[in-house]
Structure 1
């Protein structure tokens, strides 16, 4: 029998919308295609000059691809990246991340194209199609950099070895090169850059942190104050001090305008795994899984004992129909409770030590 793909519900929906919208857009463009002009679908893809009467396109345009190459990359990205992140964060947090990583970069790209039109007077800027899953691709890479900051990917039989935080910058450079070809529009680079900044800002300062099951938190904690997720970590070592100095100045300005909230001592300790479990801190996901398994096994053990007690209660004897006979207990016969045994679990504390 064929193996059924285990796809979480949100990822399954996003894949379905990608397939439906891309095929619908392709069919419409094919029927209206002519050699003299490009065909756009302003009620599916975001076109600054034409899509203002279709406000939903600011969100739906992320799941519209115009060629088979970008469609295949989008499908693979959502299939693998979506499954991993939805299971790591929960469906609710994954939906929030998708909306932020799709909507905000599209809005920023729209504003940039309108500004370029206002400055240059070139109407082509407002007729540029802003579509594709590029913001999600770069956002997923940023999320992996948070979850797996020390993970190294080896390519070409060990010739190339890169840490996960290096991939967002490589992705932006690749998008820039492809935007010079017919495969991607001129808005693709804007989408990649905006997606990078927006996804990092959201994960760094705004995403909800997951409280420790054994700790009592009076207020919810947000963001990730860990040093491994600092903005400079995405860049090569020689330029890290320069990037760190610039980002610190920008952060100070944003705090002064109350756009970002300074990290408290609780946030810093949380990033080290001392008070909460921040999914994404190295080792914390395993520690949380260990605690959840321990609680589940404890509940299972209680149910087994309850079932054992219910089955071991003596039943009332049947009415006597003849001479009474005294039944002697058989030696060496174990009760059902001892046969079931007791389920115990000692969680592995390796994740807590990290």
Structure 2
């Protein structure tokens, strides 16, 4: 099956809302050729805050991208989420996830630019920095993959085995390398990191499940478990300290032990979706999206490589050992 046939087959299987979002991505890319489109559709800190109040850009920046290869990557991200998460979560929960991650990440990036301006008084930061794209949602999908799929090896290398739990960390390193090589703006890097933090926080503490519980309190979904094993202890110290502070100021609640026996539960979704237990959810067959995904990812990688002078190298990661259990009161 050719790459074009794979895209056509994937398009036919997508839900209506996914097709609409894909259409908006293409439409906004066409609008990017107009001179004032970036100021009107992307978040520009200097125009977002008073006295201009371009607040609508908080919802339009998601669809706007002025690089065609980034649009292709965004569409591939939509394909993954539609194929992998929508059958498990339902359309309403998936759209809620997209909205929370992208809007919160956009706001975090706006406040970062504003604070940088307060320290530097550089007008370039607030008027020449444009926040746009779905890179935060791409980061959120890697977190959802970590939660939803078994911890299988997705790529076996002579120096390391890359598992689902390392996907967010490796993608983050790739984005950081691309930023250092000036292939992408620093905004993309911060949006990606914000997407990881916001999506993990939502899935860890707030996502509502059919049994009435909120979040995934399992030890295997601790924030430190996203990192290679030799980085888990120092990351755990920092994460636990932050979590204890949030509990003390009542922004988070202490975990209850009974929830640790129910990791990766299906969230409460739209009517018609049956709530499954953890064991039942793990026994479900994984949707057969790999052939199309490999083709789509190869196409995205090819267009990015053809449009950039250099490519970011995949960082090396030590081969992970068996993951150990964590404390139920850790983040």
Give the secondary structure class of the aligned counterpart of 2:47: coil
Offset, 1:191: 0.7
Give the secondary structure class of the aligned counterpart of 1:225: coil
Whole-Å separation in 2 of the counterparts to 1:244 and 1:278: 32
Judge conservation of contact 1:46–1:58 (CA < 8 Å) in 2. yes
Q: Deviations over 1:26-63 (max 9, x none)?
A: x21xxx3xxxxxx6622211110123422121122122
Give the secondary structure class of the aligned counterpart of 2:240: helix
Equivalent residue number for residue 154 of structure 1: 155
Offset, 1:143: 0.5
Residue in structure 1 matching 2:48, options 40, 48, 51: 51
Whole-Å separation in 2 of the counterparts to 1:221 and 1:165: 24
Give the alignment of 1:273-352 within 5 angstroms. 281=278, 283-285=279-281
Larger Rg computed on CA atoms: 1
Give the alignment of 1:107-122 within 5 angstroms. 107-122=107-122
Q: Deviations over 1:288-341 (max 9, x none)?
A: 89xxxxxxxxxxxxxxxxxxxxxxxxxxxxxxxxxxxxxxxxxxxxxxxxxxxx
Equivalent residue number for residue 131 of structure 2: 130
TM-score (ref. length: structure 2): 0.73
Offset, 1:210: 2.8
TM-score (ref. length: structure 1): 0.69
Whole-Å separation in 1 of the counterparts to 2:264 and 2:54: 45
Question: Any gaps of 5 or more consecutive residues in structure 2?
Answer: 269-273, 286-331
Offset, 1:130: 0.7
Give the secondary structure class of the aligned counterpart of 1:154: strand
Q: Deviations over 1:266-302 (max 9, x none)?
A: 42233387xx998694x4325689xxxxxxxxxxxxx
Give the alignment of 1:163-242 within 5 angstroms. 163-181=163-181, 183-211=183-211, 220-242=212-234
Equivalent residue number for residue 316 of structure 1: none
Offset, 1:149: 4.3
Whole-Å separation in 1 of the counterparts to 2:282 and 2:154: 21
Question: Any gaps of 5 or more consecutive residues in structure 1?
Answer: 33-38, 212-219, 290-354
Equivalent residue number for residue 141 of structure 2: 140
Equivalent residue number for residue 93 of structure 1: 93
Whole-Å separation in 2 of the counterparts to 1:278 and 1:227: 22
Equivalent residue number for residue 313 of structure 1: none
2:77 corresponds to 1:77: yes
Judge conservation of contact 2:209–2:215 (CA < 8 Å) in 1. yes
Whole-Å separation in 1 of the counterparts to 2:139 and 2:98: 12
Whole-Å separation in 2 of the counterparts to 1:175 and 1:183: 9
Whole-Å separation in 2 of the counterparts to 1:171 and 1:234: 11
Give the secondary structure class of the aligned counterpart of 2:173: helix
Whole-Å separation in 2 of the counterparts to 1:40 and 1:287: 47
Whole-Å separation in 1 of the counterparts to 2:277 and 2:155: 21
Offset, 1:80: 2.1
Query: How has the CA–CA distance of structure 1 residues 117 and 170 changed in structure 2, closer, same or farther, with 3 Å as cutoff?
Result: same
Judge conservation of contact 2:38–2:130 (CA < 8 Å) in 1. no
Report the more deviating stretch, 185-194 or 173-182.
173-182
CA RMSD of aligned residues (A): 2.6
Judge conservation of contact 2:40–2:57 (CA < 8 Å) in 1. yes
Give the secondary structure class of the aligned counterpart of 1:55: coil
Whole-Å separation in 2 of the counterparts to 1:194 and 1:165: 18
Q: Deviations over 1:221-274 (max 9, x none)?
A: 11001111111111111111111122111111111111112222342233387x
